[in-house]
Structure 1
Amino acid sequence: MRTRPAARSARLLLATAVVAALAATATACGSGNDDAAGSAPASSTAPASPLAPSSSAAAPSSAPSAGAPSAAAPSAGSSSTGGSGNDVASSGGKTPSCRTADLTMQAKNTSPDSRTGDVTVLMTNRGSGTCSAAGFAGADLKDSDGTSVSVARGREVPKITDLRPGQTASFSISYSVDTSGDHLYNPVAILTTPPNETHSVSLKWPAGAPPLAGPYGSSTIQVHPVAIEG
């Protein structure tokens, strides 16, 4: 009967060995899991590298859209001053026209001989600034019976005529002389209107001027453009 305690001891030792083996196995597994967990890469927490800008982003265009209004080019058209029907351009609009009130006017006989009639009207600038007298002056001959007729213009091309204060310009009226002795046309005054003006001045027909042949309004009586004296 001594064999029973020995058998029990053997079973106890076997059980103890099994438990120890199981414990060792569990420890080894736990250690392996911990190592595996610690060595796993932390890729989920690594900062992401910046993304390159998309190649499909549209660059701003410097060209205007088709519907955008374009700036209008300044007109190349130029302006000119008119008045009194003058066939001459003003001096670029820089010099104002001479006003009747700023001019001293006088008519004088400038006929070279008894067969050629010529009366000259002098216009002196008595204003404080330079003014333009370019063009044809208006000239109406007033007869002794009270009638007046405009004098036709010559064919000359007017020139730019700027008058400084105190300077004088002039225009002439040429006409055919009456050699018949009838003296049917007897002008007593010249109604004078400076170029680009509307106000007239009545000047006496100069004494000593040859008799005018007439008729008034004919092409034998002509007014010529204003020009600088001297």
Structure 2
Amino acid sequence: MRVHKITFAAVAVAAGLSLTACQNGDDAAAPGGGPSSASTASPAPSAPSTTGGADQSGGKGSPAVAGGKGTAAGTGSDKGGASGSDKCRTGDLEITAIDSTIGGDTDGTVAVQFKNHGSRDCTLSEYAGVDLKTDAGSISAKRTGQHPGPTTLKKGAAVSFGVTYPLNTSGGSGVRVTGLVVTPPDETKSVSLAWPGAATLPVTDGSGSPVKVGPIGSAGQGG
């Protein structure tokens, strides 16, 4: 029996040592686990990152907010655009042309009228684009060079400008005019109209356009 007790005691001591060794092993692993834990917590420094992210969010949020407020700012921008869009657009204008040549004048005159049938007041800068279609090709009217500044066209109101051209008194057949193309100021969309003036222009030596366009509001002023 004594032998068995001693053996049992030896086994118990060995088990105790083994358990201690295991615990020591676990403790030793803990430092490694510590970093591992810290490493896992690294996303927690993500908290700084999150804070940084929040800052970035805030930074991005600023534009986003700026975008949101920028909606107001954007609206302002749109207003700026709207003030840009306060310019009279081709679709807002009823465009007509009539012969307004006065007897005894050496040049013929066509008055082109812009009438605002849009829903708001709009602005016209100084010159419209004018081209005459002829059987010899297109002739672009040359600006007279006056600078009266922009014109505000009230809703429902109208304003005119003059197009002057030399009358064909040569006795020859001249250059036949087949149409008038008008482009409102700062626009790209044009309107084609019937030409209401004299049927022909005199043949020129090609030293410059014989057709001139006056600024908005110049009709009746000789271009």
Larger radius of gyration: 1
Instruction: Please state if 1:162 is matched with 2:152.
Output: yes
Deviation string, structure 1 residues 175-221 (Cα, Å, up to 9, x no partner) = 211101213211111110000111000011005x3642253783432
1:88 aligned partner: none
Alignment map for 1:61-72 (pairs within 5 Å):
none
Give the aligned partner of residue 93 of structure 2.
103
Work out the CA distance in 1 between the residues paired with 2:133 and 2:203. 13
CA RMSD of aligned residues (A): 2.5
Asked if 2 retains the 8 angstrom alpha-carbon contact of 1:149 and 1:217, the reply is: no
Which of the residues 192, 215, 224 maps onto 2:214?
224
TM-superposed deviation, 1:94: 7.4
Letter matched to residue 158 of structure 1: P
Alignment-derived partner of residue 123 in structure 1:
114
- The runs of 5 or more residues in structure 2 that have no matched partner are 1-82
Shift of residue 159, structure 1, vs aligned partner: 2.4
> What do residues 78-112 of structure 1 show as CA deviations (whole Å, max 9, x unaligned)?
xxxxxxxxxxxxxxx57711000110011110011
TM-score (normalised: structure 1)? 0.53
Task: Compare the two structures and name the one with the higher helix fraction.
Answer: 2
How many residue pairs get matched?
A: 136
Q: Which residue of 1 aligns with 2:183?
A: 193
CA contact under 8 A between 1:117 and 1:210: conserved in structure 2? no
CA contact (8 A) 1:124 1:166 kept: yes
CA, structure 1 residues 104+181, in 2 after alignment: closer, same or farther (shift >3 Å)? same
| Percent identity of equivalent pairs | 35
Structure 1 CA distance for aligned equivalents of residues 133 and 207 of structure 2: 12
Task: For 1:22-171, list aligned pairs within 5 A.
Answer: 93=83, 96-113=86-103, 115-144=106-135, 147-171=137-161
TM-score, normalization by structure 2: 0.55
- Alignment match of 1:212 (pick from 201, 213, 221): 201
Distance in 1 between residues matched to 2:164 and 2:185, nearest whole Å: 18
Runs of 4 or more, structure 1, over 6 Å off, are none
- Counterpart-to-counterpart distance in 2, 1:219 and 1:136: 16
2:163 aligned partner:
173
